[in-house]
Structure 1
């Protein structure tokens, strides 16, 4: 099964969960050959059941001790823009689509996603552009994020957040 894993980390991002389970987004995933959708919904108020997406196998959970196996088993990871979630997916060598929560004030997530996108490590969008991004994305254009360089990532975060 070709699997998409969606994570919101330990936060709440109901808009992402609603967007990815919309009929248009599911159709876009199906047209690209994905037939399984695994959602980690965190503290969100929504925990969708399989009936929400009748044309794709859907699994949903709130938290696990580790999502490493879910990431490892995914053909595509869709994540909120938290640095930890991004680093974990990129470190696992998985294609990553980051969905920015544009409802947050003073959102540093956009800077992180934008820089990693400019370096061709990931794609990013917002909930309102998610379906179009799923339809048009070219995952073959992504470059691997080389593991073992945590200092480079820390330096980038410091720069992006204005600490350096």
Structure 2
């Protein structure tokens, strides 16, 4: 009799390639966030910690060792992937017999957000407040208001994880939640008629 593979669920965390964001790594490895992941059935936490983040990641992993062990999560990290982050985001999207839909948690860099949106995986965007200007916060707020992403905060990432599950459900609705007022209430037939040019 063939043994069935255990289903996996991935939380992929990305800090981007250029600016350090140790606070996001620290929060991702916190006991509270690990517990939130465990309670929602996650099996793996993968952290892209950036070009200069290896020492910070290794140090935080040592501090979080007991929390990681008690969570039962597989936790690992890497610096950069010159081929991009798409394959990790696609893994987080899930959709196979062995891979359940997961989540992406990322800094509010426009390139990373666009990659996540293209993959159509629920995304929690966490602005890096250590940067000089506030463009990341502005971008996170604007995309969150339009219901493309969840605007996450370092002090409440577990709550954002719950909101990401709600976003996943809303993304399955038709018309899309961010389709604009002109598409509200038309239903699938009305939208198809409009796209095909069959207007009353």
Q: If the length of structure 1 is used for normalisation, what is the TM-score? A: 0.80
The equivalent residue for 1:106 is 133
Match of 1:18 among 22, 26, 29: 26
> What pairs with 1:28-67 in structure 2 (closer than 5 Å)?
28-42=36-50, 43-44=52-53, 45-48=55-58, 49=61, 52=65, 53-54=68-69, 55=71, 56-65=73-82, 66-67=84-85
The equivalent residue for 2:11 is 4
Gap regions ≥5 residues in structure 2: 1-7, 93-101, 180-200
| Higher Cα radius of gyration | 2
Map Cα deviations across residues 87-116 of structure 1 (whole Å, 9 max, x no partner).
000111111000111232321011111111
Greater RCO, CA 8 A, separation 6+: 1
Which whole-Å CA distance do the structure 1 matches of 2:163 and 2:35 have between them? 13
Match of 2:104 among 68, 77, 89: 77
Let me know the Cα RMSD of the aligned residues.
2.2
Q: CA deviation at 1:144?
A: 8.0
Describe the shift of the 1:63–1:145 C-alpha distance in structure 2 as closer, same or farther (beyond 3 A). Answer: farther
What is the number of equivalent residue pairs in this alignment? 146
Which whole-Å CA distance do the structure 2 matches of 1:87 and 1:34 have between them? 24
Which whole-Å CA distance do the structure 1 matches of 2:163 and 2:146 have between them? 19
The equivalent residue for 1:119 is 146
Q: If the length of structure 2 is used for normalisation, what is the TM-score? A: 0.66
Whose helix fraction is larger, Structure 1's or Structure 2's? 2
